[in-house]
Amino acid sequence: MALTEETRAAAREIIARYPAGRERSALLPMLHLVQSAEGCVTSEGVEFCAEELGLTAAEVSAVATFYTMYKRRPVGDWLVSVCTNLSCSLRGGEEVYRRLSERLGVGHDETTPDGKITLEHAECLAACDYAPVMTVNYEFFDGVDPDTAEGIVEALRAGERPTPTRGGPLCTFAEASRQLAGFADPRPQALAATGYGDPSVAGLRVAEQAGWDGSGPYGTTGNGAAGTSAATTTKGA
């Protein structure tokens, strides 16, 4: 059984982070802990969380089925999520998904026979400015096309860990789940630099150049005090 005494000790470490009487707040990280041990949230994992937190299995299941990051079927080492929401679809996200589905021989929420890769549609990855995007275990690969996406997946199948566009180095799904449970990444690699890229501030620069200060209902222009640039307004917030 994946839920060992070590897992139970880690769960109690999570619970201890919360004030007395608020232990149920530990449920979200505990579900990630269960995923790190079992590869998904199993019925045993639901019972485990319920027992440790004094909740009913129904209460735990309600949370586990509400959030898409909690999987009820085993996930491979690499969860590949392709955004197919509006912005990404308009820029080729659907084509990216179709190529990967054909290449891997799996559909949405399915895992390759070797257990390495799980593919899924993602409704939104909150990165419209870099569309089309995909993530691997929640690390971003921006501006992909069918060829670059296929190259990333083939590298994963070959045992490599491609470097994400932003964020930290790639972790397996189990490693990422344990980090989401609140435990530090033990690997020696330093996190990659984060921050923002040019697409994220393109609108701000347009507003600054146009002298929009946002004081009117449609971002009216102005001079003097009323014409404070968007950048200055942002800095002063």
Report pLDDT digits (tens) over 82-96: 999 999 999 999 999
Is pLDDT of 225 > 70?
A: no
pLDDT at 219: 52
Is pLDDT of 115 > 60?
A: yes
Is pLDDT of 162 > 90?
A: yes
Higher pLDDT, 167 or 72: 72
pLDDT at 191: 54
Mean of the pLDDT values across residues 229-233? 40
What does CATH list as the number for 78-172? 3.40.30.10
pLDDT at 217: 58
**pLDDT grade for 234, boundaries at 50, 70 and 90:** very low
Kindly list the domain boundaries of the chain, sorted by start residue.
5-64, 78-172, 198-236
CA–CA distance, 45 with 139 (Å, rounded to integer): 25
Mean of the pLDDT values across residues 137-156? 96
Q: How far is CA 236 from CA 163, 197, 206, 231, in A?
A: 35, 21, 19, 9
20-24, 89-93, 185-189: the lowest-pLDDT one? 185-189
Residue 190: CB partners within 8 Å, gap ≥ 6? none
CA–CA distance, 84 with 96 (Å, rounded to integer): 9
pLDDT at 143: 95
Residue 157 has phi, psi (to 5 degrees) of -65, -25
CA–CA distance, 112 with 102 (Å, rounded to integer): 12
Mean of the pLDDT values across residues 167-192? 83
CA-nearest of 63, 66, 44, 81 to 173 is 81
Report pLDDT digits (tens) over 128-141: 999 999 999 999 99
pLDDT at 184: 86
Q: CATH number for 5-64: choose from 1.25.40, 2.30.30, 1.10.10, 1.10.150.
A: 1.10.10
